[in-house]
Amino acid sequence: MGRVTMRRPVLKIAADGARTRPDTLAAEEPLEIRVNGAPLSVTMRTPGHDIELAHGFLLTEGVIHDKDQLSTARYCDSPGPDGRNTYNVLDILLAPGVQPPDASVTRNFYTTSSCGVCGKAALDSVRLSTRHSPADDPLTLEPTTLIELPGRLRAAQRVFDTTGGLHAAGLFESDGEVLVVREDVGRHNAVDKVLGWALLADRVPLTGCVLLVSGRASFELVQKAAMAGVPALAAVSAPSSLAADLAAEQGMTLIGFLRGRSMNVYTGAERIVTKDIA
């Protein structure tokens, strides 16, 4: 398995002068996901929790909806310049009778760490249908609980503490209990790792849960949450207009700018308990 962080010498320039010192960077390496031996996608990710990432990716692309639909997941031989396996190629074998992904799922080239939709065969294929609609989820959320979530997410970001260069996604119960937190250079990868964890733990659909992301809420992240039946997605930054449109369409609560003691609720405000707020 590749390293999560890498050390690199840098020239540090400050008011008291300049000096060379080591710095810790978040690792970024390609992961090629194959299904039944056929290349499906290449994503730039931080090594670690690759099995969860692959499960989450296939779930949110509509290829599978249950962990039993995957037979095995194994690393292929992918030697680097030193001849050692890089563990950057993962082959997923589908269970008998499970249909392989169609051409609309296959990326034309690769998925960067900043964009998980780039390279889709057609824009229309992005708007996937979910087996786990969050529209009827009876979840209710207290604002006092929500404002505590970013701090709990940040407290679990161990690699961010040393690099300052990773996104995070966290899954929480309605009372604020942390279920799982994952970090990655790609925000979509962090979400796929969280949802892959949930699939492997038999937690999908994620009824009564909140998914929190450390950056903005994009269309793709709303789609991923909807595919796993997440009723509420919160972000410390802004959502996009298309993300808000999709959240409304899916009956999902979408919260942005969750910082300090305030937040903006863009859709699904009926799930937020506001009776005690002036």
Closest C-alpha among 3, 27, 40, 267 to residue 165: 27
For residue 72, give the amino acid letter.
T
Q: Please name the helix (run of DSSP H) or strand (run of DSSP E) that holds residue 23, with its range, or none.
A: strand 17-26
CB 195 within 8 A of CB 203: no
Quote the CA–CA distance of 69 and 58 in Å, as a whole number: 10
Catalytic residue among 76, 115, 118, 209: 115
What are the E-state strand segments in 76-130?
89-94
Local structure of residue 77 (DSSP, 8 states): P
Local structure of residue 213 (DSSP, 8 states): E
115 catalytic, yes or no? yes
For residue 143, give the amino acid letter.
P
Write down how long the chain is. 278
Quote the CA–CA distance of 271 and 252 in Å, as a whole number: 9
Closest C-alpha among 235, 254, 214, 231 to residue 174: 231
Quote the CA–CA distance of 112 and 216 in Å, as a whole number: 16
Query: What radius of gyration, in Å, describes the C-alpha atoms of the chain?
Result: 19
Quote the CA–CA distance of 243 and 222 in Å, as a whole number: 6
Q: Just list the catalytic residues.
A: 115
